[in-house]
Amino acid sequence: MKTKLKSSFIIAYLAVLLTFLISTVSCERAQQKLQESISNPSVSDLENALQPDVISIKDLTTNAEFVCRARVIKVAAARERYDPTMNLVMSRIQLAITENWKGKLPSTVEIRSFGGVLDGVPYFASELPQFHKNEEVILFLKNFEGGLFPVLHAQGKKTIEGSYIQGTQEKLGDFKDQVLAATR
């Protein structure tokens, strides 16, 4: 019984995330994957449907209302009612904005993200960003119903490691230049 409930929760959770993904960036491939997953709604189909294509910095910037450099002040996860039918683990992330690259955010702001760590248990899928206190980040953000969220989840969050973007060989200054060029 517990396994069946856990599977049902995962499928429902992934379905909400997929809906959010499709509303973030209209994409024929994601819609096609959704249709395929609806015909055979297994967890693996829904997980595959959630895997977005890697999007360019220009496209991320275009789809974002705000692009900023920030430091994570606080991360708090809780079960929240995202819509009338879904009670999900959501994170509220407090940020200190150090630079606005597109749009103008106040010096401190709260954003939201699906997933989080609740009572020591992680509730994340690979496409969801994870935030950590004192982390330095670049965020591509957009207002959605329920708050300010990263565009395309994990793709809308880039972690700064020294003078580079984590996981790449790209220098922070070059990355910033690409974002600023995309705003013109």
**pLDDT score recorded for residue 24:** 42
Beta-carbon contacts of residue 28 (< 8 Å; ≥ 6 apart): none
What is the per-residue pLDDT for 10? 54
- Arch. (CATH architecture) of 59-182: Beta Barrel (2.40)
CA atoms within 13 A on the CB side of 50: 25
Residue 7: helix, strand or coil by DSSP? helix
With beta carbons less than 8 A apart as the criterion, state whether 128 and 120 touch.
no
How high is the pLDDT of residue 53? 62
Which residues does residue 122 pair with via DSSP β-bridges, in sequence order?
117
- Do 162 and 179 touch, CB atoms closer than 8 A? no
- Number of other CB atoms surrounding residue 111 within 10 Å: 24
Instruction: Encode burial over 81-104: b for 16+ CB neighbours within 10 A, e otherwise.
Output: ebeeeeebbbbbbbbebeeebbee
Q: What is the mean pLDDT of each run of 10 residues along the chain (184 residues)?
A: 47 49 44 47 46 78 96 95 82 97 97 92 87 97 91 93 92 95 92
Domain ranges of the chain: 2-53, 59-182
Q: Report pLDDT for 179.
A: 95
The amino acid sitting at 22 is I
Q: What is the pLDDT of residue 46?
A: 45
> Which residue pairs, CB below 8 angstroms and at least 24 apart, start in 40-45?
41/11, 43/7, 43/10, 43/11, 43/14
